[in-house]
Structure 1
């Protein structure tokens, strides 16, 4: 009866069946490899949604009252919402929703969509349909994937129109593209000039002109009527974006405005048309040059290398369809650096793997044994890819380091299982492997209890190691025995007995020397002291003074915290007892080395102007900065983004040769000096962990009072009343009332 059960078991889990199963799973893993999220640095994971919208030309107070507060009040009633915050600025606004820990984000997203659908119908016509994204708005910048410039023997508006429709549509078809921006020209708009007295005679208001135009062609957006100071004439701007603009161009004079006692007043009877170009609402330049540019942004979860390959193919098709004499030039490609870094890291991983396999070959001197370890390792990594995809693990430089770290332990598990099965003819060592692997994984649990920033940087590394080692246990238990049976690897102890005995004899000789020389009681302290000094004593971490008023703090301040100790003794102790700890601490400069995003050296320059400024004024400041940057030969490229008077930034990229010199730091220091020449402008200049800011708003004030509530207007009135009262105090030199980040 026992033999029958055993035979059934062998038929069900035969080596052939197990090998075929692992081959199929490995093929699934290889097929899923292009679908993994590949990027350069770890991406912050947040259980949050953001709702953003546009209200062109509207003041922040109007947006807050008519749109933001309405949406925020409705969204705050949803279950699973932990925290909600909003920002209303000129022309736009957004709402960030932070969810509870166990909230299903997709369910909440559906509920948010339902609320927006109900509320948007009652909002002003100029408000765009709110967009929902799974990341916090206003907290991070989108990753620019490509930047193109379109040149040709045509006017800027024609180039802009071609880029806005033909190129945008061609790239938008690619899955994984989050946004496409087109810069370089602005569309035309119609200004209707009317006589105010004539409107009075007919009893017509500017809003009736709006209704007439809206009823005629259903434009996507209309301006607001304004009057000039003389009270006689007024200009009425209308954005030219109609379903059939050609028909409107020919028949605008025949648009009926009002019926007065059977007499129809047409638009041509009361107004004249003037076509002008819109004022730009945003700017983008590369190396300070104004061209028609197309910026392509990738989704956070996309495989940027695979996505770039698809964009390359679309680029070739677009170039073939360009009009004669036109050219599409790729000015920026972020995937190039990503490919280079991933390639470099992969080569290092391959070299490490090759060295491990060479050592396996040198020790066992068997091609079959080497093939066993190699096939098992390939199956392990392929199965791990399946789990990476299922658990949405991102592949970047930190997670690749996790693969490198885990490979050594994986091969060790395989060798131990193969050798035990080879000589003992059973798999009882699996219990020991399981315990050792769980011990290694247990050390990684601490990552899940770190703060948000450190956990973001290490979470993918942790999951990679956990998945790889867990899969290695399954491979060692199932695949190793079946492969050994297929490869017919058996024990040949007699042929290698003499070689192994010689190796054991030499190891015993080394251990005997240690016992004779260092194992003696009087010398036993040498080894631990030596290891301690190599690692280093944390003398450099001793605080200078303790602010506590306890007796122990007083004793510390008089001894280890004294000026004599810190000036004369502490530097000597750090030099001779610091070991490898001091260079490590100096290298990370007080910040986690994993928190420094890997990548090329980039100088970030952020510029903003006070409230009431215009985007043209900020553009003038950025133009002067661009002119200053052009003098440096070591700069490869700089990109300028301006989205409003409080939102401008310049990204400066350096050549490969200059990155290895001090030029980036020289440019940074010179830009700081240049920033101090602009009165009223706020600058933030950052590179790696070092930064500069001269912001003279909220952060520079010695004291602040924060008011919070649900009615913005009432809150603002209370703040103004409190501000007037505080201003009467002679000790207060300057008092400002501001909302959010806007004064």
Structure 2
């Protein structure tokens, strides 16, 4: 080949190109973004709409349903889900894979704009946004020290603006802050005495708290801008605001209300290590680098701690980049360890440091070239792409080994160094290209697989493909060039036999004896193979299956939920009891962050006064004697003894949430029936082995008082329903009157009644309603009161009521648990019109396995097609394909021995094996054909080919297997993700290689006999 000859003749040019590639690779490496996982592009969008003070039923009927109906006909939508809760509606749209989401969102916006006029006037503007899994905080930072009010001011004025200026930061959210508010506490008796109502007070405040431009006047040769300034400059201005009564008298605000400079009522409490704190959750930009953003924030914390006043400290609560960095470091170590093990194998076989250097040079150059290709294709440096490099590490040297061995054979025949390099490399270049191609083509179908499996493993496939392409180029250029310069004395015996060669000779002789026996007992060999395959498949129920392996990130989440409607203070008492229990785990907990009544830790969900959420960061896995799962189980068992609350403990995955392992979606016509079914199903599945903390969205409901307005009676007093509701709302929630600005800060001025007048049912019943005529009547004269339990939230899917049941899975594989859950569900009688479906990880696993199974079939076909082109024959590729079924034995045996269920990474490993295991068979069958073409008898050709090809087969197999052993052992943080992939390849390739050396010669001879019979029959007929 010209490429080979040119590289040997122009060594300086090759060296300069290599140096340029290395330089470009180093630059590309610095530009690669670092993250835990590849970016997942989910075709999901959400529409969020507020509807203040509305109950879930009203939100569903007046907001969620109209929006669902409007968008249901948008092209490309697969599923529409809605959640209606008090004061807010959330509509989630899931589109089909491949849909142009930008165009789809334009269509959604157009439909929603047409619907706005049908929504209630008090409903907020629908906010349409694309869902992004990256929209999760990358870091939580606590501010401790002074009182919460002072800390809030420091956070708003200094810390938040500083953090938002850091590179890659999208936004900073403040939790646990105290918001300043000017409250005008109304005195009802004085208001009645002076004959004023809250609306008149609001009008007076607004009219006297404004500035405006009113024109210009000339003064000499200049125009003067006329401006009336009337905004409040102090609290005295608010107190002295003039109110004109209906009787014509003039009074001030302070005559009917007490002006208090205070803070808004807190609906939550934030504690860090049991101390009240303010916590900042920091979000990165969509294209931001998690590690880089975290590094910028850490540098910012160091700078701010020097500038902040004494007694105020910033501390990192949770840093998701730490696990990313540890995971990346562990994968890099595994790559280096695997590389060293491969080089040791090469040195053992080649008995030459120079020859090892020639082949070993392909590893770093291939890796560096891969970084360049990853940079230009927009991939990130993550656990999976680096894992792809580690998995491809042993395969990188395969092409170089084959080329070098052939170069050496020509050298032994007396050719010069240059001639040996050119002839040896050129002769096997087509075979090496074909062999690499069979490995590469198995990844093509993976690229076209859709969903999460594609998003996660396409980058891995690209990384392996890039590294193999780079190693092939190195084998055809750098290896021949270096061989022509460095191998003048390599591989010389110096008159004595190398001990390892003697060992290989004995192995070869033993293999020849086994091969002779199998060729004489062909039926027995085939039958034994079939029995081994069937036996391994029988292990399938014992192995099980799961979606993705869980990684020990050392993060634990505890959810505490007291009875619905429980006050914040009561929930805080339960939290104190939980803290007492958690004291027993102090040796494992590095940081403990709890939000009481403030929602979840993601910043995306709402909460209530009856809820508290803990997020605990454990010490690194290497520093503790228990796994996160063990701690979660012990903690969960311990916390179940805390009375007055439902408590669940789970391991948290801050890097990439895959959803609940088990999610049962109930659908039907009535929410109430779904609630009853959900409670029954939770009770039924609790007893299933492996089910952990099952729960349903059908909570016991919020205690509520329904106020039914008698419209006829209200009309007799000149009142409308809106007027009555407005006065009730003012009494119990207050009313925003105006804004007050002080030193650049704006704060609300709120009308509110004293707390003792808005706390009990009696206060509600005794409420006085003002009529348009100025008369005052009791509320109960125009309304009726109905006490009941109202739902916390209402769910719908595809415009039909829905209820979800979710559960974690512990100490058992997901597939087995799902099977038992479905058996239970089949035994439950569902009312007519009601049904269930499995969602969560169970659904994703089923879809991904189906897609990957199809990809495996296409991969096998492509491998066969490449071999058919290489051999210009359909029979020999068919013979070689018999090495694939035996792979099942190794895969099943490996997963069973290591106690790992089959998962998506393991499935990817099986697909990779389809391209790897045939390489040994290609080498063997090709050499048998060469020997037979030279006139050698078939039996002797098979024996000779087996003995002579044993050495390169062992070399390529061992380098691939040993390079993956560190990953197979799951050494270091985050290695659990690649472990199933490595295990399938290690065991699958090992067992398949053994079968290849024995079974393929037998199959070859059997098909050769069959072909000979068919040829004789044709001759007889002719």
Q: Structure 2-normalised TM-score?
A: 0.52
Is 1:276 the equivalent of 2:276?
A: no
Is 1:146 the equivalent of 2:139?
A: yes
Answer yes or no: is the 8 Å Cα contact 1:41–1:598 preserved in 2. no
**Distance in 2 of aligned mates of 1:647 and 1:216:** 42
Answer yes or no: is the 8 Å Cα contact 2:359–2:401 preserved in 1. yes
CA offsets 1:545-572 (integer angstroms, 9 cap, x no match):
xxxxxxxxxxxxxxxxxxxxxxxxxxxx
Answer yes or no: is the 8 Å Cα contact 2:362–2:396 preserved in 1. no
Once the 2 structures are TM-superposed, how far is the Cα of residue 157 of structure 1 from its aligned partner?
Answer: 0.4
Aligned to 1:692: 692
CA root-mean-square deviation: 5.1
**Distance in 1 of aligned mates of 2:200 and 2:691:** 54
Query: Which has the higher relative contact order, 1 or 2, with Cα contacts under 8 A spaced 6 or more apart?
Result: 2
Once the 2 structures are TM-superposed, how far is the Cα of residue 321 of structure 1 from its aligned partner?
Answer: 1.4
**Distance in 1 of aligned mates of 2:120 and 2:24:** 49
Answer yes or no: is the 8 Å Cα contact 1:34–1:306 preserved in 2. no
Answer yes or no: is the 8 Å Cα contact 1:82–1:100 preserved in 2. yes
Residue among 339, 342, 349 paired with 1:356: 342
Once the 2 structures are TM-superposed, how far is the Cα of residue 169 of structure 1 from its aligned partner?
Answer: 1.4
Comparing 89-98 with 341-350, which one deviates more in the overlay? 89-98
Answer yes or no: is the 8 Å Cα contact 1:423–1:491 preserved in 2. no
Once the 2 structures are TM-superposed, how far is the Cα of residue 324 of structure 1 from its aligned partner?
Answer: 3.4
Answer yes or no: is the 8 Å Cα contact 1:454–1:595 preserved in 2. no
Q: Identify if the C-alpha distance between structure 1 residues 625 and 448 changes in structure 2 by more than 3 Å, giving closer, same or farther.
A: farther
Q: Identify if the C-alpha distance between structure 1 residues 53 and 620 changes in structure 2 by more than 3 Å, giving closer, same or farther.
A: farther
* SS of residue matched to 2:274: coil
CA offsets 1:427-459 (integer angstroms, 9 cap, x no match):
353432332223223444565687956556544
Answer yes or no: is the 8 Å Cα contact 2:239–2:259 preserved in 1. no
Answer yes or no: is the 8 Å Cα contact 2:578–2:642 preserved in 1. no
Comparing 165-174 with 429-438, which one deviates more in the overlay? 429-438
Aligned to 2:430: 431
Aligned to 2:154: 162
Aligned to 2:393: 407
Residue among 559, 563, 577 paired with 1:624: 577
**Distance in 1 of aligned mates of 2:352 and 2:204:** 88
Comparing 648-657 with 208-217, which one deviates more in the overlay? 208-217
Aligned to 1:489: 485
Once the 2 structures are TM-superposed, how far is the Cα of residue 629 of structure 1 from its aligned partner?
Answer: 0.8
Aligned to 1:599: 552
Answer yes or no: is the 8 Å Cα contact 1:635–1:654 preserved in 2. yes
Residue among 363, 372, 378 paired with 2:364: 378
Once the 2 structures are TM-superposed, how far is the Cα of residue 409 of structure 1 from its aligned partner?
Answer: 1.0
Aligned to 2:633: 668
Once the 2 structures are TM-superposed, how far is the Cα of residue 425 of structure 1 from its aligned partner?
Answer: 5.5
Aligned to 2:298: 312
Aligned to 1:193: 185
Gaps of 5+ in 1: 1-5, 220-243, 543-581, 716-730, 733-743
Once the 2 structures are TM-superposed, how far is the Cα of residue 187 of structure 1 from its aligned partner?
Answer: 1.0
Is 1:296 the equivalent of 2:282?
A: yes
**Distance in 2 of aligned mates of 1:494 and 1:164:** 70
Aligned to 1:465: 464
Aligned to 1:96: 92
Answer yes or no: is the 8 Å Cα contact 2:557–2:614 preserved in 1. yes
**Distance in 2 of aligned mates of 1:25 and 1:115:** 52
Once the 2 structures are TM-superposed, how far is the Cα of residue 347 of structure 1 from its aligned partner?
Answer: 1.4
* SS of residue matched to 1:416: helix
**Distance in 2 of aligned mates of 1:129 and 1:20:** 59
**Distance in 2 of aligned mates of 1:464 and 1:218:** 63
* SS of residue matched to 1:413: helix
Gaps of 5+ in 2: 212-229, 408-420, 600-606, 653-660, 662-689, 701-793, 803-828, 831-1022
Is 1:639 the equivalent of 2:593?
A: yes
Q: Identify if the C-alpha distance between structure 1 residues 453 and 658 changes in structure 2 by more than 3 Å, giving closer, same or farther.
A: same
Q: Identify if the C-alpha distance between structure 1 residues 77 and 709 changes in structure 2 by more than 3 Å, giving closer, same or farther.
A: closer
Residue among 304, 308, 316 paired with 1:322: 308
* SS of residue matched to 1:598: coil
Is 1:31 the equivalent of 2:17?
A: no
* SS of residue matched to 2:370: helix
The structure having more radius of gyration, on CA atoms, is: 2
Q: Identify if the C-alpha distance between structure 1 residues 173 and 105 changes in structure 2 by more than 3 Å, giving closer, same or farther.
A: farther
Residue among 504, 514, 537 paired with 2:511: 514
* SS of residue matched to 1:519: helix
**Distance in 2 of aligned mates of 1:612 and 1:629:** 25
Q: Identify if the C-alpha distance between structure 1 residues 699 and 190 changes in structure 2 by more than 3 Å, giving closer, same or farther.
A: closer
Q: Structure 1-normalised TM-score?
A: 0.68
